[in-house]
């Protein structure tokens, strides 16, 4: 039995579909039974903040997919929440935990990078078997509004001319599927990237082609972003961290390409053009007037 946390999320819903199609025994940990029903699978209703519900969900479980939302301004619940799951997994006699982390996770790293490193260390020390996937930025950020847009729907960022090897969450789910079902990947980390590093000008061109209208990429200095966030009421420390993350990416931190998706799944990672073609329906709801923050992750 596999427990899928974050089952209604960008990665989780792809993983649920895959496991269902293969008739693999699993249950989805969801906090909203209404949303959970759409997954069409066995549910364990609970919350990362409710230890009893985690313990109940883990009954009879051999492997766990561990994924929860990243950092927000002012709060960082991920460390406590995921640690709670890891501790409960030890008590429940779980075999392996497959954790979604982030590329660049390191002790003292900014926002999600530091938080994930803390959880990774906890998992390593737990005595459980584990596999950790460290994805690049998600292609899905451009659908959900987690990417940053101007009021007119143009793409806004501080990435300069650096490439980013965005990955499709369906590919992350495919890798997790392999790691949850077999013996591959014990006590290993996998940096998961897309097959190409695109600049945001190139991404804007692909979005333009997919939408049939011109989307431009507007590049701004990271410090200007931080100032805007502060003006919107975001704590100065968080805004400064976001700006520093932008600067890291502008320096090429997410420009590398790995073969991990192909190595684990036996097929190449999805290109941005393939992703946009698959998500045609969602793209029709393309955000105009959305402002968000992709780098908070
Ligand atoms: N975005 C990026 O570019 C990027 C890149 C690398 C790594 N990451 C990492 O990816 C992770 C996010 O993955 P994702 O995008 O698949 O997540 P997501 O789409 O934000 O979904 C989060 C999931 O967690 C569930 N959840 C939230 N709070 C919960 C709670 N208190 N108890 C139980 N379930 C709860 C949500 O359920 P509901 O349906 O009830 O809300 C949802 O299923 C983060 O750890 C982030 O650091 C992100």
List per-residue pLDDT tens for the chain, 297 residues long: 999 999 999 999 999 999 999 999 999 999 999 999 999 999 999 999 999 999 999 999 999 999 999 867 766 799 999 999 999 999 999 999 999 999 999 999 988 999 999 999 999 999 999 999 999 999 998 886 555 777 778 888 899 999 999 999 999 999 999 999 999 999 999 999 999 999 999 999 999 998 888 989 999 898 888 898 888 888 898 889 989 999 999 999 999 999 999 999 999 999 999 999 999 887 766 655 333 333 333
Task: Write b or e for each residue in 138-174: b if 16 or more Cβ atoms lie within 10 A of its Cβ, otherwise e.
Answer: bbbbbbebbbbbeeebbbbbbbbebbbbbbbbbbbbb
pLDDT at 147: 56
How many Å lie between the centroid of ligand 1 and the Cα of residue 68? 4
Q: Is residue 107 classed exposed, middle or buried when 0-12, 13-18 and 19+ CB atoms within 10 A define those classes?
A: exposed
Let me know: does 149 contact 143? Beta carbons within 8 Å: no
pLDDT at 222: 87
Could you give the CA distance from residue 251 to residue 159 in angstroms, rounded to a whole number?
8
DSSP secondary structure letter of residue 258 = -
Q: Whose CA is nearest to atom 18 of ligand 1?
A: 9
Let me know: does 190 contact 264? Beta carbons within 8 Å: yes
Let me know: does 130 contact 215? Beta carbons within 8 Å: no
pLDDT at 226: 86
Distance of CA 183 to the CA centre of its chain: 23
How many Å lie between the centroid of ligand 1 and the Cα of residue 143? 15
Distance of CA 100 to the CA centre of its chain: 7
**Which of 49, 68, 77 most suits a substitution to test ligand 1, by most atoms within 8 Å of the C-beta?**
68
**Ligand 1 atom with minimal separation from the 169 CA:** 16
pLDDT at 145: 58
Could you give the CA distance from residue 162 to residue 265 in angstroms, rounded to a whole number?
28
């Amino acid at each position: 039995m596999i427990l899928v946390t974050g089952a209604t999320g960008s990665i989780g819903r792809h993983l649920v579909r895959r496991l269902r199609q293969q008739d693999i025994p699993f249950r989805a940990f969801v906090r909203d039974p209404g949303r959970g029903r759409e997954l069409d699978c066995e549910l364990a209703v609970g919350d990362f903040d409710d230890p009893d519900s985690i313990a109940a969900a883990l009954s009879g479980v051999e492997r766990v997919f561990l994924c929860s939302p990243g950092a927000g301004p002012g709060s960082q619940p991920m460390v406590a929440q995921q640690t709670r799951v890891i501790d409960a997994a030890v008590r429940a006699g779980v075999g392996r935990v497959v954790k979604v982390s982030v590329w660049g996770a390191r002790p003292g790293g900014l926002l999600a990078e530091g938080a994930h490193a803390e959880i990774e260390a906890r998992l390593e020390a737990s005595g459980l078997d584990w596999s950790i996937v460290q994805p690049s930025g998600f292609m899905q950020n451009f659908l959900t509004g987690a990417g940053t847009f101007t009021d007119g729907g143009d793409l806004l960022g501080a990435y300069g001319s650096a490439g980013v090897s965005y990955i499709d969450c369906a590919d992350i789910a495919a890798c997790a599927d392999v790691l949850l079902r077999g013996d591959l990947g014990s006590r290993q980390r996998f940096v998961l990237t897309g097959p190409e590093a695109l600049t945001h000008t190139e991404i804007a061109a692909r979005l333009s082609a997919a939408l049939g209208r011109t989307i431009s990429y507007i590049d701004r200095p990271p410090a200007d972003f931080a100032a805007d966030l502060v003006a919107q009421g975001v704590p100065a420390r968080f805004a400064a961290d976001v700006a520093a993350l932008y600067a890291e990416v502008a320096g090429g931190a997410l420009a590398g390409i790995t073969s991990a998706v192909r190595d684990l799944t036996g097929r190449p990672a999805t290109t941005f053009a393939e992703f946009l073609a698959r998500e045609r329906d969602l793209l029709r709801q393309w955000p105009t007037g959305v402002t968000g923050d992709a780098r908070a992750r």
